[in-house]
Amino acid sequence: MTETPVFDLPPNLSAKADRALIAADVEHFAAIDVALRTQLADLTARLEVTRLAPARGGQLALDRDLEVHRLTARIRALRRFGLDACLGRVVPADGSPPTYIGRFGLSDADGRRLLVDWRAPAAEPYFAATFADPRGLASRRRYRWGGGRVRDYWDEAFTAEAAASGTALDDESAFIASLGTSRSPRMRDVLSTIQADQDAIIRADSAGALVVDGGPGTGKTVVALHRAAYLLHADARLGEGHGGVLVVGPHEPYLAFVADVLPALGEDSVQTCTLRDLVREGADAAPEGDPRIARLKADARLVDAIEPAVRLYEEPPTRDLVVATPWMDLLVTATDWAESFASAEPGLPHNDARDQVWESLLDILADQVDPDAVAPHLLRRALVQNEELGRAFTRAWPLVEASVLVADLWTVPAYLRRCAPWLSPDEVAALQRPAGSAWTLADLPLLDAARRRLGDPAASRDRRVRRARLDAEREYMAQVVDRLKEAGDELMQWMDGDDLRNSLVDEAVLTPRDADLLAGPFAHVIVDEAQELTDAQWRMLLARCPSRSFTIVGDRAQARHGFTESWEERLDRVGFTRVRRAELRVNYRTPAEVMAEAEPVIRAAIPDANVPTSIRSSGIAVRRGTVGELRDVLEEWLAAHAEGVACVILAADGGVLNCGTVDGGVLNCGTVDGGVLDGGAVDGGVLEDAAALLDEAKTDAGFWSDVADSSRVRVLTPETAKGLEFDLVVLVEPERFGDGIEGAVDRYVAMTRATSTLVVLE
């Protein structure tokens, strides 16, 4: 039994503390507590023994490392969660004992199951049961934990008998009650309150592409992240050694917002990133300034143009070449060039295949010489050192850097016309730019495709250096062995010379370069805010998941540049072969008062928008005012709310703040990603002639300092606020968000970030 009571209910919930209602839970939690302590001690001891075990090579070493990883992960989960690992319980209608659902499975020393892992089939009724379909349950109880104690719990009775048995019923479910609670800078833990419509999507199989279509507040992101954890647990095709899962979000604030979700679900192997992160040039890439150029580069056909662009660097010479050696002249004919070039392994990147082609060319030349006349290793060394042969080969099959290849497309019109013949002369001219121009976001898919097709030229150079080092190491060790044998050492005479030479070689010289963790291939890819992706960007993701196993989360009504097709049409065009679609139509986040204002905004631009129905009301009407009231609005809200996060959403050009560049930085009314709000650098931009709020930030340091210290106010653009949620949202000059579909979408997205209060300042 724990030292303090498990149930720590506030006075207003004293009725729920009735012993008759919680006695069974208290007893069960005591058993869980004992099992947790016992298992933690046992695992810690086993980990110590495993770590101290003698180091061995090969499979034994791999098995040892995997066991250390497994034990460490389990210990970390047990230490992160105590009794609060229990999400809730279900009572079967057939009179069977209650089943307790947990973040992980747990049994006592006798093998009695104390917690059923939430991802296990036995846990499904806990999430899937509804009053229309109770899934064989009499009742369900959900716990709200705080500080390792139960602060509240809610019961739902699915049968008349359960309702009459003393179950602690409430006017609203646990989930509805939790919606109005204050937000924090990180996504809340919502595992215990996942709803039936969400759970069905989470547990769907991983074959093909599953589109999760839903409007604001429907829990799309919750579904996506919990689906990642579920599939890693339940689908053997995604497990250890099969590639794992990649989660792609829209921007860095989103990744920060959801950073705790997967670790809290016991998954630390999932890679998360934005599209920028997939390409090394992405960190500094700016948006494409010309909409016409952006549309041209969004076309997947330009990605296809990378193949013929590379092929131009793989054309065999058509002239014969005489290669002089100390013994004789050798001839490389056009046929020999073609044969060596054809030896490249299909699918091997250009820079990697170069080594194969070179070796094939050397073999063709060596075949012209009688091995009895010239020692093969001497001939090969002479050929490798032949400068004329080396220059000819380098001209015919050079090492190529992806950035150079793509830059050539934008600076050499003839090259672009040859690789993309469908472009009109005007389009070719429009795509040209001065040499050395900065990369844009629209360039990233082409850079990615080029790098995947070419490979890393530095890696090819490294391989040659490592191979030379290994050859030198082997030659040195051969000399050591020969000298030991010459010295008459009996052991050396007995041992096989070749085996000994190989065993003495230090293969550390072959240490590979660090792997690109985002290069793939992945077994499953999850894409949030997927409605924004261009055809070219989809190619970046498809290249990383050959199985085409995707979870695609988005809302056509939130596509800033319009989305007139169906999901099926869009995905079929970019290369998906099997597409299923599931819809979420219940808005769990945005109050009805806010949605009543937001719905006409989006319907005016997109009449068939999937606008979800809010299931709760905050009782707070949307407030309207002037920009001059911004500080008063924030000050009043902060004074009235000890918890929660507010967000000021303004146009990308800063609006009244006239920010030179925001770039998605997090503005805590005092600091922007390390830049001080004093006219200095802000994400590389400069605050130019900032007006009202900037002046106040300078003159009233006390208030803004308090805000900055609390980290409770953020300033974002509509684009960088996408996917996030805040208790208070203040829209500053929303008419500056733009016209047409883009402006309507930005206003709709910004308005629906509010979980409680929306203020619009004109």
Domain spans of the chain? 11-174, 201-278+518-584, 292-461, 462-505, 592-661+683-761
pLDDT at position 517: 87
Point out the least confidently predicted range of 47-56, 84-93, 654-663: 654-663
Average pLDDT score over residue span 25-49: 95
Burial class from Cβ neighbours inside 10 Å (0-12, 13-18, 19+) for residue 620 reads middle
What confidence score (pLDDT) does residue 759 get? 98
Residue 693 has pLDDT above 90, yes or no: no
Q: Mean pLDDT score of the chain, rounded to an integer?
A: 85
Most distant pair of Cα atoms in the chain: their distance: 103
Whether 214 has a binding-site annotation, put simply, is: yes
* 218 carries a ligand binding annotation: yes
Provide CB contacts within 8 A for 76, sequence distance 6+. Answer: 268
Quickly tell me which residue has 């970019």 as its tokens: 574
Please say if the pLDDT value at position 652 is more than 90. Answer: no
Identity of residue 34: V
**282-286, 322-326, 337-341, 481-485: segment of lowest average pLDDT:** 481-485
Would the annotation count 680 as a binding residue?
no
The C-alpha atoms of residue 140 and residue 153 are separated, in whole angstroms, by 10
Q: What pLDDT was estimated at residue 77? A: 87
217 belongs to an annotated ligand binding site: yes
Instruction: Summarize pLDDT for 332-363 with one digit per residue, the tens.
Output: 999 999 999 999 999 999 999 999 999 999 99
On the question of pLDDT at 7 being above 80, the answer is yes
Task: Provide the pLDDT confidence category of residue 66 given band limits of 50, 70 and 90.
Answer: confident
Helix (H), strand (E) at residue 381: helix 376-384
Name which residue leads in pLDDT, 665 or 28: 28
Residue 323: pLDDT above 60?
Answer: yes
User: Rounded to an integer, what distance in angstroms lies between the CA atom of residue 116 and that of residue 119?
Assistant: 8
- CA–CA distance, 135 with 745 (Å, rounded to integer): 39
As a whole number of angstroms, the distance between CA 251 and CA 272 comes to 11
Please check the confidence at residue 584 and state whether its pLDDT lies above 50: yes
- Residue 314 DSSP symbol: S
> Of all helices (H) and strands (E), which one includes residue 579?
strand 579-584
Cβ atoms 536, 299 nearer than 8 A: yes
What is the percentage of the chain residues whose pLDDT exceeds 90? 67
Least confident of 434-443, 632-641, 696-705, 741-750: 696-705
Question: In the beta sheet, which residues pair with residue 137?
Answer: 92
Q: Are 342 and 356 in contact (CB under 8 A)?
A: no
What SS3 class is residue 151?
A: strand
- Write down the pLDDT at residue 478: 60
Helix (H) or strand (E) holding 726: strand 726-732
* 219 appears as a binding residue in the annotation: yes
The position carrying tokens 């000994």 is: 500
Q: Which residues of 647-683 are buried (b: 16+ CB within 10 A; e: fewer)?
A: bbbbbbebbbbebbbbbbbbbbbbbbeebebeeebbb
Residue 343: what are its φ and ψ, rounded to 5°? -80, -10
333 has binding-site annotation: no
The domain 201-278+518-584 is placed in CATH, from the list 3.30.70.141, 3.40.50.1820, 3.50.50.60, 3.40.50.300, at: 3.40.50.300
Q: Which residues contact 653 (CB under 8 A, 6 or more apart)?
A: 659, 736
Q: Distance between CA 701 and CA 197 in Å, rounded? A: 48
pLDDT greater than 60 at residue 161: yes
Strand partners, 165: none
For residues 389 and 408, give the distance between their C-alpha atoms in angstroms, rounded to a whole number.
Answer: 27
Do 201-278+518-584 and 592-661+683-761 come out as alike in CATH topology? Answer: yes
Q: Average of pLDDT values for 546-561?
A: 95
**Fold of the CATH domain 592-661+683-761:** Rossmann fold (3.40.50)
In angstroms, the CA 478 to CA 467 distance is: 16
Binning pLDDT at 50, 70 and 90, where does residue 451 land?
Answer: very high
**Residue 462 — pLDDT band, cuts 50, 70, 90?**
low
Question: Which residue stretches of 53-211 are H helix?
Answer: 58-80, 124-128, 160-163, 174-179, 196-202
